[in-house]
Structure 1
Amino acid sequence: MSVLKRINTSTSMRARVALGAVLTTVTAGAVTGAVMHKEVTLAVDGQTMHVSTMAFSVGSVLRDNGIDPADGDKVNVPLSSAPRDNQTITVDRLKKVQLVVDGRPLNITTNASTVGQVLAERGMATSAVTAPLNDVLPVDGADLDVTLPKRVKLDDGGQKSTPSIAAKTVGDLLARAGKPLSPTDKVVPAAQTPVSKDMDIRVTRIKTEEKTLTEDVKPPENTKDDDTLTRGTKKVEDPGTPGKADVKYSITTVNGKVVKKTKISEKVLVEPKAATVRVGTKPGAPAVPYGVWDRLAQCESTGNWAINSGNGFYGGIQFDQNTWDRWGGQEYAPRPDLATREEQIAIAEKTQAAQGWGAWPSCSSQIGLR
């Protein structure tokens, strides 16, 4: 019979009491161990780790995990205090940092954990640094190159602003402003120029791109002579029909305005239908669009090119007979009022070339010709 069996079957009260004492001791030890065991989070210079501990003090927890706070280090709870389950113990160690601010060195000590935190401590949270803001500061020291924000006067392709940006060079400033330079852009001063306070920066945005546009194709003209129309006169008999084509262009813009447009290729989609135009062959003065002679006639004769007032002056611009004859008017008609508008203008141009606008002294002055 086994010992356990004997004890269980024994009628001895002493044996039963002894067994109970042993079981009580084992149970109490297990309960005590469970109570002393704790889960703790250590956050050292922003880096966290989760540990299990049965230590009686925060200092012991740290030492057990290779962390021995020195003078100047900051711990968020007293080292002598007892750790609690699920507690976070924070240690921010003292560090020596050299800040080079716009080229000027500044030595400081800090308990900050990251580059961003040390800048925030110094009121430089928006400053530019060579290291990322979330980089962890090493305990044995660090050098940080810091550029403070500077307000500048920026003219970017005609859009003016006064941004305050931390950047070392003009090119960096434009990139940080969300307006980086393209290889074809121009900037004054040059992109590598160091930024200074109140600097004037002028950017010219130059862009060349290819675009395909669908355009009308002008109908070609088929002409035929018409002896009922005066020479120089054209009359459209059939306007034809424009075609369609995809035309590829190389387009260069400066600050958004087109300065050069070069055709690269053309693909006709719809062929145009040719127009038919009648061209006058009848002798006479060529057609003249509305212009200065009509303004002069409006003053001289209220624009009546066929007027004969009976005072010795004829036509829209009031020729006398001698002037008409001298400059070849008889080629067209016996008197000015019997000639067409175009024929009167042809003689008027010869008169003006010889005598100037003084041939019509009053009206030429009134309409600002002299």
Structure 2
Amino acid sequence: MEGKKHRPVMSVVAVVALFVFVVFSVVFGQSQVSLTNTAKAENKKLVTIFSDGNKKTVPTDAKTIGEALKLNGIKLEKGDVVEPVAETLLDQPFYNINVYRAFPSLVVDGDKKTTVLSGYRSPRQVVAAAGLKVYDEDKVSLDRSDNFVFDGVVGQRIKIDRATPVDIQIGTRIFEFRTWKKTVGEVLQEKGFSVNESDLAGLSLNDPIYKDMNIKILKLVSDIIQIREAVEPEVQYKDDPTKPTSFRLTEDPGKPGEKVISFTVNRKGDVELSRQKLEEKVTIPAKPKIVVRGTKYDAIGDNAQLLLKLRTCETGGRYNANTGNGYFGAYQFSQATWNRWNTGYARADLAPPEVQDTYVLKNAKASKGGFWSQHPGCSVKLGLPKFPF
């Protein structure tokens, strides 16, 4: 005879955990909405600061990231890294600020040891903070240093393994390279030079590579060609907090630069078989293009696509909608909700489009449920966010 089957019952611990999670979510969500509304009401920015393992969200009237940190009692020490940088102007409604505390690193570059305090996490960034130049071919590795007596520091240890610098000379032209290859022949093959051993001045293809070696080629089987190409101007932005985020104005178009790219080319007769890039040098630097961009928060403009979807869903986009169902305008305001805002217009359908756009956003922000409670059907259908941007 089979035993009696029972339905699984949720444990008391699971029920309590679920209850705590729900309560926390509600309280946290309400606190976030409250902070947002407070910041807007006081014409302040809302910043969330991540520092020393803590997260803190506060309204602020600080002008810069650095000032916001100072006002909240966060002191920056030597080597600390802040993202965005401390000089960044606070001209947007919301900011996330990350503070990375500096810790000691030992950088080992051959026989040279350098100790640096840096908040950077990337080994190459730490090396740059130590004032050392590394090339693309160099290898940078990271491990821990726990031997204070030997290293003079306890922290992370960064080792730089340098690629070997060599020069390849063809006539009066000298090309500078860095390589991990071991022999002259391997380097020449890596760089795309096709030569016979008799074409080398006093060297063999099997000779080992050493630092600052000069490999002189008397005769080159392959050709060297050079191509000039334009260097497009880098775009640099100047932020204008008085203009909306959609605003763009080219203040200075800049000017293209020029670079020369050298290739070795192997041919058979007139047919090109292969091409290898030797080097690329900028001969004329490009003048940057300067673009003024608006950074002023524009509630309607920044939510334009969202509003278009919402009113299309509600009324097909008709601002004068009055179908007799007790709801009015493009966003189907009830009369009670509309009256609460004291817009100066008797009904939503009698108000101009920009007024309806403004108050549908305000109404969503003022509601704990946002769009989800004020426009439940369209929110589900369109997958709208809970609150406007």
Q: TM-score, normalised by structure 2?
A: 0.28
Rg bigger for which structure?
Answer: 1
Q: TM-score, normalised by structure 1?
A: 0.29
